[in-house]
Structures are given as C-alpha cells and as structure tokens.
C-alpha cells in the first residue's frame, strides 16, 4: 500500500454548535459549519472543485447529494455522498484527501451533516433495514454493550467493578465537555451519579451513552504543496487507515467481542503511514469513538494506547484525562459533544485541527505544544473503523 | 395397528395467578394460576415448540403428513401446517392440512392421523390461545399451550384400539368471524345439554362398543371447560377413579381448547405403564372418544410437563396480560428500521424459517445464517447446511436493553450463543428472567413471532434457557 503522508493539508475547518437544534434545519447546520470553514480557509464556494458529503439519516435514504447542493448552492461540481454509519464523516475526509492527492483537484470540501432531532424520537430506532427479522429490536446500546460482559469476564472484574471502571470514562468526558462551548452537554457528573443513573442497556447506564445530537462539520482540503498559499499554519495529513468488515462478527468462530479487527487494522495502517511506532508516547492527543464508554475502553487497547488489560490501570490513574499522558476526547467526545452520525468524524478532526494550531475556542482545554493528534470513528455493530492522524509540521 | 410414538406439550413460560385477574376487577378468583402465551408466542409457535420436542423424541424420519389444529390459527387464510412443516425442517414432499373451527379439532386431527398413517408417520400439532371476555370466568379459566403427537403404523408403543364419535349441533359456545372473545349461551344449558350430555354419550358409546367397564380404564382424559364440569363428567361416566388418576397439574395451566386433550395426553404418557388403557375425549358440537393401550413405554420428550410447570415466570400485571392478548394498545415505542418483505422471507427460508446454518466443506467453519462464502477460508458455495434448532448452545455474551422491546415487554436480552457445532447465533433471548442471564447459560432455539409488519406475521428464532 502506498502513502499520502504530507501530500494533503487541511486549510480550513468549521463546526456548528452541537445539540438539540430544534430551530435549525439540515441546511442551516451545513451553512453554519461551511461558513466557518470558508472563512478559516479564505476561500468561497466558487473555489470548491468537488464536495464529499456524509450523512446517514438525512432525512432519509434516496436523497443523493442534493442536500449539500441545496444548502450551499454548490453547482456543476461532483458532490459525492457516502453513508458508512458512524465513520461517514471520516470517509468524506478520506475521499477528499484521495481526490487532491491524485492531482485531479486542488481544493475540495468534506462536509458532514446530520439532523437527528426532526424524527420525533429520542433514539435512532431499531435495526437497519437489511433484513426483515435478523436485526429485530437490535439497538446501538444493546449491541455495543455485548463488549462489556466479555471484557469483565476476561479480566476478572465483577459487574460492579466493571461498571465503575467504564463510569470513570463518562466522568472524564463530562469534565472535558464542560470546557467545550460548542458541545451538546456541559455538565460535570460525579461517579456516584453515573453509577446511579437509569440503565439503558445493561451494563450501560444513561451516562455511558453518547448524546443524540444535531450538528455539522466541514473541512477544506488542498495539496500540501499549495497549503501555505492559503495560510501559515495548515495541518497536514500524516496517516489514514480505514478498515471495514462484516457487520455479522458472529460468523467468525473466534471473535471474542474484545479484539476488533477493524480497530486494530485501521489504526495499524494509519500508524504505519504516519511513521508512528509507539502511539501511547508519540501521540499528543486523540479523539476516539466513545459512542458508549465501553467502546472507548476497547479502543484504548485495540489502538495500542494501553496494553491488553492495561486500560483498567490507565483509566484508574487518569492517563487519558486532560493533563494525563495521552488526553482522549478532550472536547467531551461523542459522550458530551454529541453524535450527529455523519458529522462526527469531521467534528473530531476539527478538534485535532484546532488543537494542533493552538486555536481551541476555550484555552482551558488547549494541549501544550501538540505535534500529532488522532481522530477516529467506529460504526456498525462495531466492525467499521476509520482513523486520521494529523500533524502541524511536514516530515 | 396404528398408534402413538410420542407426545409432547409446550406450556408457556409465563403464568398469571387467577387472583391477579380477579383482583383487577375487584371480584373473586378461581384457585391457582393459568398459563399465558408470551408477547412473542401464538398458536403456531406454541405448536412448533411441542412438535420440535416430539420429533426429537420420536424421530423425524418417515414423517409423511402434518396436521395442525387450532381455533386460533394465526391466519384466517394461509396454512399454519405448511409453515410448521418448514420451521420443523421437514421435507417438502408431504401432506399438510389445517383443521380448525372446533374445540374437537385437536383430537379430530389425531383420529385422522391414526386412520391415515399407514406405514409412515404423521405429526399432529396443536396450539391454542383463546381469549375470554375481560372480567369473565373464562378469562381466568382459559390457558394457552401447544401440543404435538407423533403417530404411526406398525410397532408404535401406544396402540390405538378404537374410537366413537357423536355429532350434535348446538349453539352453546362460539366465535363468529368478527368475534375476539368466546361467546356462550346460558351456563346451565351449555353444561347440561351440551358438554355433559354429549360427552357422556361419546364416552359411554366407546366403552360399550369396546366392551369395557370403568375399572378397565386406567386413565381417562376428558378435558372440561371448568373444574366443576370436569368432576361432573367423570361421575356421569363412572370414570371418577380413572379421571382422578390423571395428574391434576394442568389446573395450573387452564383449559387450552383444541390443544387440551393432546396436552393432557402428553402429560399422561409421561407416567404410562405397559398394559394401561387410556381414554381420551373431546367436546365441541358433538364429542369424540378414543381408546389406547400402552404396549411399551413410549419415547419421552427431553423436558417433561412437570419440569415445564416447575420453571415458570410470573406475569404480575393484569394490564400486561391484556396487552399481550392485543386488547389494549400501549404507547408506541421507538420505530423499526426494518423492511418487511415476503420475498426475502421466502428466499431466505432455509435460514430464517428452517433455522439452517452452513458448515464449510473445506475448513469446517460453521455459520448462521447460511453463508455462500466461508468467512474463514473464503471457499465459495462449498458448504453443507446444518439444522441449529435441534442443538443446544451456551450464552457467549449478552446485554439487557431496557428500551428496545415492546412497550408492554420492554427488556430485550441481546445474546450471542455458542452453538454445539461451533456456529454462533446472534439474536434475542426469550422466556427468561433477564436478571438471571449469565455467561455459559445453556439455551435452545425457539421459533417466535417477532413482529407484525407488512400486514403479516414475521417469525424468526430466539434463544431461551433450557427448562
């Protein structure tokens, strides 16, 4: 496999306010995120040669790419929509990077938008329409919670110990979200409150589950050799890794619901391209897919942030907290920033981008002198993963 | 001479105390409890459970016909017997027939099977879920259950000796095409001129025809709509002793309509001793009585009626009881993102209905549902199909989702099951206390009604704890 390390740069990004945006439609969200990105990059819609657009529900299947054209009045250029569940935003970024790396385009846009709060329902619904019965009454929390019991069993945690361990991730992400103005939730929660909250899908309680939010995020991408024509501090793509897999992991007799091939392989590819051999030491921060607290825990180990079983000690010692060895989800993560599905990959990349430029909207959560950051989304049932590693210097 | 190889009953996991029902109406209650079909059970699924157990005990080879009997079949037009033959994974080259509209249809189907079995086997399956008016006695007295009897010629251990039938037109108990609830005329007329008079005529007719005295009969199975009529018919026929020899445990189930004589027969055969003569009767616009003799111990299902009765969950809410019967409409839950499709269900029937998975001929990897390309070695179209519904498995991992279920049955246990052939079943658990689920728990697969979408019933398999 080849490499596009340092061949592509992000020269502008935008991110809408996340939350329950009752008075804001899908087009408004797209305008909010893209306007900020245009201003940040110093370009306008007339400069965009292609748009890579991600949305999952929006408002339903069969809408093609026209929602982006309708909102932004993009015309006469390719607009390519992708739907890859929670990784959709990252896939839009991946497509944008490939498009400029190929030399075909100079300036392209990746845009992720999701308007979830127009359905009248608090959740995402059940099943995915792939079969009349196979996914009956299968929800995201119920599916990801399957990881928990296997992890607890493997490392000898009682149900209470396990719940407390993942509860600490919720406490951390809520603490982080309190310093992120654009996040859906800003409330800090103590561990006792996390543990006493109503159960959604045992062992996951209310605070173990991410927000169901409206939001949009946008990136303007160009060739690395052109980036300084637009700004002094472009952010370079160091590595990408995408691994998709069957959504039926039970077909694999040895699948243990703790080790996910998609997670391990997507991160491995991204590390190799970026030249990272020890992510725990070399990364300065990471935004990973904490749709549920147990998911974030599994990612620590599958990504090599922690050794197998080592996440337990790393969580208890605060290694992933702000000021710790590797801050993870420093903007509150999906947990508090919110999870508008098709926008999330680009929102997480936005945080890394701003951190690397040291231009975070609230200086209280700015990491000191970061060089390398990772963003990641994970969808499914958990078998589809995308990773992007960004840096603020070439080489 | 034709006879019975085995019989099996399915008593639903759920029961409701009759005082819970009576209490909801601030009125008295009959003694004990009744069975309640779960929110995912109907007459077909209950029959399927029993029929699966009967086939496992009595052998599935040479089954040439399947008769399904019920007054509460899931469809007015569409054969339940054909669906049953499919979910039991029987061959296509066989006769299937639905019998209905009469509480005699269960025993009538058994008689038809005995008359037609020849050298092969005939499977008789019945399931019943009748609904009594809210606040009625029937609401407390009815029960839901399934039963199956495997019949054949030759050396069947329980020999059929003869039968006697009476036809007697009477409008005593009925449901029109439009009725949800069982209707009935004045009680004294129904019991006196209907049930007691006509049932006695059939039972006495059989005994006279066979030259039998009451003491010749070891066990008398005479289902009754209520306990008082049950005692009355035994007294009237002189069979009190033979009737009392039948374990009264089914009082804890309730009267299961067309399925009831077969449910009782399954319970009686579990205790049968060689040499015993067993009389079975059923009433409904006439009556029928059949006589059997136990030649040798019949094959028994893996789980007895007593074991099923010992392991039940209690439905404590009358509101949920009403909702399970479709009589109230609770607040809707989250929407489905499932697309109902008769085409998909038909095309994928080997997996979805026959419960067959694949086993790779090259590397041996087992999978469910059937995969054309092996996930392990990627061999294409080189697999054998394997029936998972006959196997047991163990819970590999699970979660308890509090929001995914029906509003009247909200908790969903998502489960990954390690089947004994190495395949994994990923689906829902039923018939369990969600708080008792744990890793390694032994389970079986069971056909259930998943949801009604597209204007038809969507059936698929779930796992349930081994009872």
Across B284-341, the runs of DSSP E, i.e. the strands, are 286-294, 313-314
Q: Give chain B positions within 8 Å (CB) of A155.
A: none
pLDDT of residue A1: 86
Contact B404 A200 (CB under 8 A): no
Contact A133 B338 (CB under 8 A): yes
CA–CA distance from A143 to each of A90, A195, A333, B316 (Å)? 22, 20, 20, 29
> Is residue B294 located within the same domain as residue B437?
no
Report the gap between the CA of B348 and the closest CA in chain A (Å): 10
Q: Which of A51, A86, A291, A336 is catalytic?
A: A86
Residue A127: pLDDT band (50, 70, 90) is confident
Say if residue A105's pLDDT is above 90: yes
Of A63-67, B43-47, B161-165, the poorest mean pLDDT is in: A63-67
Q: Rounded to an integer, what distance in angstroms lies between the CA atom of residue A167 and that of residue A16?
A: 28
Nearest CA-CA partner of A279 in A262, A293, A299, A256: A299
Nearest CA in chain B to A119: B335
> Is residue B156 located within the same domain as residue B28?
yes
Could you say which residues from 88 to 127 on chain A have a Cβ atom under 8 Å away from some Cβ of chain B?
A: 119, 121-127
**Best of B399, B402, B410, B446 to disrupt the A interface by mutation (most A CBs within 10 Å)?**
B399
Say if residue A121's pLDDT is above 90: no
Nearest CA-CA partner of A29 in A61, A10, A57: A57
Residue A289: pLDDT band (50, 70, 90) is very high
Contact B371 A251 (CB under 8 A): yes
Structure tokens, B387: 């029936």
> Is residue B76 located within the same domain as residue B150?
yes
* Exposure on the CB side of residue A201, measured as CA atoms within 13 A: 29
Range of the domain at A325: 8-120+210-391
Residue A122: pLDDT band (50, 70, 90) is confident
In a domain, B82, yes or no: yes
> Is residue B109 located within the same domain as residue B212?
yes
Q: Give chain B positions within 8 Å (CB) of A203.
A: 399
pLDDT of residue A62: 66
pLDDT of residue B335: 78
pLDDT of residue A123: 77
Residue A247: pLDDT band (50, 70, 90) is confident
Structure tokens, A385: 């993963």
Residue A307: pLDDT band (50, 70, 90) is very high
**Best of A123, A133, A162, A252 to disrupt the B interface by mutation (most B CBs within 10 Å)?**
A133
In a domain, B58, yes or no: yes
Nearest CA in chain A to B425: A250
pLDDT of residue A61: 62
Q: Summarize the confidence of residues B60-68 as an average pLDDT.
A: 96
Q: Give chain A positions within 8 Å (CB) of B425.
A: 250
A339 in active site: yes
In a domain, B333, yes or no: no
**Out of A123, A148, A149, whose CB is closest to B403?**
A123
Residue pair A280/A371 in contact by the 8 Å Cβ criterion: no
> Is residue B108 located within the same domain as residue B238?
yes
In a domain, B335, yes or no: no
Q: Summarize the confidence of residues B224-235 as an average pLDDT.
A: 95
Report the gap between the CA of A296 and the closest CA in chain B (Å): 17
In a domain, A241, yes or no: yes
In a domain, A325, yes or no: yes
Contact A131 B459 (CB under 8 A): no
Which CATH number is A103's domain given?
A: 3.40.47.10
Contact A253 B451 (CB under 8 A): no
In a domain, A77, yes or no: yes
Q: Rounded to an integer, what distance in angstroms lies between the CA atom of residue A382 and that of residue A86?
A: 10
Q: Summarize the confidence of residues A81-86 as an average pLDDT.
A: 94
ipTM over 0.90: yes
> Is residue B28 located within the same domain as residue B58?
yes
Residue B467: pLDDT band (50, 70, 90) is confident
Q: Give chain A positions within 8 Å (CB) of B345.
A: 132-133
Say if residue A120's pLDDT is above 90: no
Q: Rounded to an integer, what distance in angstroms lies between the CA atom of residue A344 and that of residue B342?
A: 36
In a domain, B329, yes or no: no
> Is residue B352 located within the same domain as residue B307?
no
Count CB-CB contacts under 10 A for residue B247.
Answer: 15
pLDDT of residue A65: 87
CA angle B457/B463/B464 to nearest 5° reads 110
In a domain, A148, yes or no: no
What percentage of residues in chain A have a pLDDT greater than 70? 99
Q: Give chain B positions within 8 Å (CB) of A250.
A: 368, 416, 424-426
Angle between helices A293-302 and A159-177 (to 10 degrees): 90
* Each residue's pLDDT tens digit, A19-48: 999 999 999 999 999 999 999 999 999 999
In a domain, B336, yes or no: no
In a domain, B216, yes or no: yes
Q: Give chain B positions within 8 Å (CB) of A201.
A: 399-404, 414
Say if residue A383's pLDDT is above 90: no
Q: Which of A174, A289, A339, A376 is catalytic?
A: A339
In a domain, A107, yes or no: yes
Q: Summarize the confidence of residues B90-108 as an average pLDDT.
A: 96
Range of the domain at B413: 342-465
Could you say which residues from 385 to 444 on chain B have a Cβ atom under 8 Å away from some Cβ of chain A?
A: 396-405, 412, 414, 416, 422-428, 439
**Best of B39, B87, B337 to disrupt the A interface by mutation (most A CBs within 10 Å)?**
B337
* Exposure on the CB side of residue B150, measured as CA atoms within 13 A: 30
Report the gap between the CA of A167 and the closest CA in chain B (Å): 17
Mean pLDDT of chain A: 95
Residue B247: pLDDT band (50, 70, 90) is confident
Q: Can you list the alpha helix ranges (DSSP code H) found in A42-87?
A: 66-72
Does A395 touch chain B if contact means CB atoms closer than 8 Å? no
Residue A59: pLDDT band (50, 70, 90) is low
Structure tokens, B206: 């059989």
CA angle A253/A254/A256 to nearest 5° reads 120
Q: Summarize the confidence of residues A35-63 as an average pLDDT.
A: 90
> Is residue B264 located within the same domain as residue B359?
no
In a domain, B238, yes or no: yes
Q: Give chain A positions within 8 Å (CB) of B412.
A: 137, 139, 142
Q: Summarize the confidence of residues A311-320 as an average pLDDT.
A: 98
Q: Rounded to an integer, what distance in angstroms lies between the CA atom of residue A59 and that of residue A67?
A: 9
Residue A380: pLDDT band (50, 70, 90) is confident
Domain boundary among B291, B324, B357: B324
Q: Rounded to an integer, what distance in angstroms lies between the CA atom of residue A350 and that of residue A97?
A: 15
A86 in active site: yes
Contact B403 A199 (CB under 8 A): no
Number of domains observed in the structure of chain A: 1
Domain boundary among B263, B292, B324: B324
* Each residue's pLDDT tens digit, A141-194: 999 999 999 999 999 999 999 999 999 999 999 999 999 999 999 999 999 999
Q: What is the DSSP string of B367-395?
A: ESS--SB-TTT--BS-EEEEESTT-EEEE
Q: Rounded to an integer, what distance in angstroms lies between the CA atom of residue B143 and that of residue B324?
A: 13
Largest CA distance in chain B: 72
Size of interface A-B (CB pairs under 8 A): 139
* Exposure on the CB side of residue B181, measured as CA atoms within 13 A: 12
* Each residue's pLDDT tens digit, B367-415: 999 999 999 999 999 999 999 999 999 999 999 999 899 999 999 999 9
**Best of B338, B396, B402, B459 to disrupt the A interface by mutation (most A CBs within 10 Å)?**
B338
Number of domains observed in the structure of chain B: 2
Residue A58: pLDDT band (50, 70, 90) is low
Report the gap between the CA of B405 and the closest CA in chain A (Å): 6
In a domain, A191, yes or no: no
In a domain, A242, yes or no: yes
Residue A60: pLDDT band (50, 70, 90) is low
Contact A131 B338 (CB under 8 A): yes
Say if residue A6's pLDDT is above 70: yes
> Is residue B252 located within the same domain as residue B400?
no
Q: Summarize the confidence of residues B248-255 as an average pLDDT.
A: 91
pLDDT of residue A274: 98
Q: Give chain A positions within 8 Å (CB) of B340.
A: 132
Q: Rounded to an integer, what distance in angstroms lies between the CA atom of residue B4 and that of residue A162?
A: 54
Contact B414 A126 (CB under 8 A): no
């Amino acid at each position: 496999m080849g490499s596009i390390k340092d061949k592509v740069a992000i020269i502008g990004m935008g991110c809408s306010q996340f939350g329950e945006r009752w008075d804001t439609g899908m087009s408004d969200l797209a305008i909010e995120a893209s306007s900020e990105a245009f201003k940040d990059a110093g370009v306008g819609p007339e400069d965009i040669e292609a748009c890579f657009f991600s949305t999952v529900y929006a408002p339903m299947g069969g809408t093609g790419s026209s929602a982006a054209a309708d909102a932004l009045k993009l015309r006469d250029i390719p607009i390519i929509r992708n739907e890859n569940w929670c990784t959709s935003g990252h896939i839009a970024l991946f497509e944008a990077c490939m498009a400029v790396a190929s030399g075909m385009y100079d300036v392209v846009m990746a845009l992720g938008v999701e308007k979830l709060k127009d359905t009248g329902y608090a959740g995402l619904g059940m099943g995915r329409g792939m079969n009349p019965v196979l996914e009956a009454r299968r929800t995201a929390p119920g599916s990801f919670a399957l990881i928990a019991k296997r992890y607890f069993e493997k490392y000898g945690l009682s149900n209470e110990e396990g719940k407390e361990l993942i509860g600490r991730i919720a406490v951390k992400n809520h603490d982080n979200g309190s310093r992120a103005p654009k996040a859906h939730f800003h409330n800090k929660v103590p561990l006792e409150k996390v543990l006493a909250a109503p159960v959604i899908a045992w062992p996951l309680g209310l605070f173990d589950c991410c927000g169901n939010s409206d939001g949009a995020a946008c990136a303007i991408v160009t060739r690395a050799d052109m980036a300084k024509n637009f700004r002094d501090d472009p952010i370079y793509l160091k590595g990408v890794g995408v691994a998709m897999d069957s959504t039926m992991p039970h077909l694999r007799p040895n699948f243990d619901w703790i080790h996910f091939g998609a997670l391990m392989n997507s991160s491995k590819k991204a590390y190799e391209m970026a030249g990272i051999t020890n992510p725990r030491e070399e990364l300065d921060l990471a935004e990973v897919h904490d749709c549920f607290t147990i998911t974030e825990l599994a990612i620590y180990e599958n990504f090599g942030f922690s050794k197998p079983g080592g996440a337990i000690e790393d969580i208890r010692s605060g290694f992933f907290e702000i000021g710790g060895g590797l801050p993870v989800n420093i903007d509150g993560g999906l947990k508090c920033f919110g999870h508008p599905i098709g926008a999330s990959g680009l929102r997480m990349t936005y945080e890394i981008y701003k951190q690397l430029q040291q231009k975070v909207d609230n200086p209280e959560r700015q990491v000191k002198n970061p060089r390398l950051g990772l963003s990641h989304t994970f969808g499914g049932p958990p078998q589809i993963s995308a990773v992007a590693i960004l840096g603020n210097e070439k080489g | 001479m034709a006879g019975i190889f085995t019989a099996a009953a399915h008593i639903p996991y759920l029961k409701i105390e009759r005082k819970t029902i009576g209490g909801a109406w601030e009125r008295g209650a009959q003694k004990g409890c009744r069975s309640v079909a779960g929110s995912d059970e109907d007459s077909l699924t209950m029959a399927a459970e029993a029929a699966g157990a009967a086939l496992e005990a009595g052998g599935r080879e040479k089954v040439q016909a399947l008769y399904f009997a019920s007054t509460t079949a899931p469809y007015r037009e569409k054969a339940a017997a054909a669906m049953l033959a499919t979910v039991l994974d029987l061959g296509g080259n066989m006769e299937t027939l639905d019998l209905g509209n009469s509480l005699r249809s269960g025993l009538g189907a058994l008689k038809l099977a005995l008359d037609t079995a020849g050298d092969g086997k005939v499977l008789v399956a019945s399931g019943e879920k009748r609904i009594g008016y809210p606040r009625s006695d029937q609401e407390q007295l009815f029960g839901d259950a399934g039963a199956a009897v495997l019949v054949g010629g030759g050396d069947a251990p329980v020999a059929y000796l003869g039968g006697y039938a009476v036809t007697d037109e009477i409008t005593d108990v009925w449901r029109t095409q439009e009725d949800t609830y069982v209707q009935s005329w004045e009680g004294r007329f129904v019991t006196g001129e209907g049930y007691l008079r006509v049932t006695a005529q059939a039972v006495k007719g059989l005994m006279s025809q066979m030259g039998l005295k009451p003491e010749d009969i070891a066990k008398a199975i005479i289902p009754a709509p209520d306990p008082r009529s049950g005692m009355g018919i035994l007294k009237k026929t002189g069979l009190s002793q033979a009737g009392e020899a039948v374990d009264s445990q089914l009082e804890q189930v309730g009267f299961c309509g067309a399925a009831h004589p077969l449910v009782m027969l399954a319970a009686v055969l579990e205790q049968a001793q060689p040499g015993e003569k067993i009389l079975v009767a059923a009433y409904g616009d006439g009556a029928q009585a059949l006589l059997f003799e136990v030649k040798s111990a019949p094959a028994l299902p893996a789980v007895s009626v007593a074991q099923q009765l010992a392991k039940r969950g209690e439905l404590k809410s009358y509101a949920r009881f009403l909702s399970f019967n479709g009589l109230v409409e609770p607040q809707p839950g989250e929407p489905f993102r499932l697309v109902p499709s008769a085409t998909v269900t038909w095309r994928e029937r080997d997996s979805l209905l026959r419960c067959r998975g694949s086993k790779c001929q090259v590397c041996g990897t087992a999978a469910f549902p059937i995969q054309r390309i092996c996930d392990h070695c990627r061999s294409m179209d080189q697999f054998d199909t394997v029936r998972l519904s006959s196997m047991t498995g163990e819970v590999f991992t699970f979660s308890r989702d509090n929001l995914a279920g029906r509003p009247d049955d909200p908790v969903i246990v998502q489960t990954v099951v390690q089947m004994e052939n190495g395949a994994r079943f990923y689906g829902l658990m039923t018939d369990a206390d969600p708080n008792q689920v744990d890793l390694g728990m032994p389970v079986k697969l069971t056909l259930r009604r998943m949801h009604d979408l597209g204007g038809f019933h969507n059936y698929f398999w779930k796992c349930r704890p081994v009872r």
